[in-house]
Structure 1
Amino acid sequence: MNALKTIAYIAAAVFIFFGVLFIWGAFSPNGSTGWIIVGIISVLIGLGLIFIVGRRAAQAQAQAQNVQVKIDLPGGVSLDTVKCKSCGGVITSDNISLVNGAPMVTCPYCHTAYQLTEEPKW
């Protein structure tokens, strides 16, 4: 996509450059009034290319990005139940979300939200 964007910007610059040359040449002693029309059309095509490419880049940036985190656990891992610190309710994986890189827990029973921390193993 970046290559097409670069090519479109180069083509727009060429259209605008030659459009300005045609408009400028129309006012020379050997110029023709038809050159003004050709120059204006060329400049408009160049500006249109810039507008279209800029708009597509903005649309691509606006699309939401979905980030999935997959954890590869070592062989001997046992799974414990996670309980809410406030009410003691059982927390499932649906209640854990990743916010700004930190795992956050929202209790479905008392609606308490807190950061999930790992206790030391020793």
Structure 2
Amino acid sequence: MSAGKIIAYIVAAILIFFGVLFIWGATGDQGDLMWIPVGLITIALGLVLIFWAARRPKQDVLPQVTLKVDLPGNINLDTLKCKSCGGALKAENIKMVAGAPVVTCPYCGTTYQLTEEPKW
């Protein structure tokens, strides 16, 4: 439950409580009947606030995570071939698994981790 809904429910409870007190006080021995409409309006505002808070959609903000894959070494995706069958691999075949680039061959189904070749 969001903080806005909790605050709305607390304010509504306070409004309803005071509305009941206004009505109760107006109906006593020395009560003034003009407080009855004030109490009814206060209770109505509290109920409207509860209705509004209950109907309010969730506004939980999920963090947006963007993962940019920086392939190690000088990899030319046009010439990347499967180690098992020699089939041509595309960028869609590369996924990040546990922080490492892993290739799945669409032809033979072989899965292996890409390794960085030394540059010297």
Both structures adopt the same fold (TM-score exceeding 0.5): yes
| Long gaps (5+) in structure 1 | none
Distance in 2 (alpha carbons) for counterparts of 1:108 and 1:89: 8
Q: CA RMSD in A?
A: 3.7
Higher helix share: 1
Report the equivalent of 1:56.
58
Which stretches in structure 2 are left out of the alignment for 5+ residues? none
Q: Scaled by the length of structure 1, what TM-score is found?
A: 0.57
Structure 1 residues 107 and 47: alpha-carbon distance in aligned structure 2, compared to 1, 3 A threshold: same
- What is aligned with 1:38? 41
Q: Which string of whole-angstrom CA distances, capped at 9 and with x for unpartnered residues, describes residues 74-118 of structure 1? A: xxx63344332432322111211234544332211123344x242
CA distance in 2, matches of 1:113, 1:72: 16
1:70 shift after superposition: 5.9
Matching residue of 1:18: 15
Distance 1:27 1:99 in 2: 67
Give the Cα–Cα distance (whole angstroms) in 1 for the partners of residues 116 and 74 of structure 2. 15
Please tell me the residue identity of whatever aligns with 2:106. Answer: P
Question: Which one of 111, 115, 118 corresponds to residue 118 of structure 1?
Answer: 115
Q: Which amino acid aligns with 2:86?
A: G
Indicate if the aligned counterparts of 1:19 and 1:43 stay in contact, CA closer than 8 A.
yes
Aligned to 1:47: 50
1:78 aligned onto 2:74: yes
- Alpha-carbon distance, 1:33 to partner: 4.5
The percent of aligned pairs where both chains have the same amino acid is: 27
> TM-score scaled by structure 2?
0.58
For residues 43-79 of structure 1, what are the alpha-carbon distances to aligned partners after superposition, in whole Å with 9 as ceiling and x for unaligned?
Answer: 22222343244x2325x54xx9462416499xxx633
Q: Is the 8 A contact 1:9 1:49 kept in 2?
A: no
- Alignment equivalent of 1:89, drawn from 79, 87, 103: 87
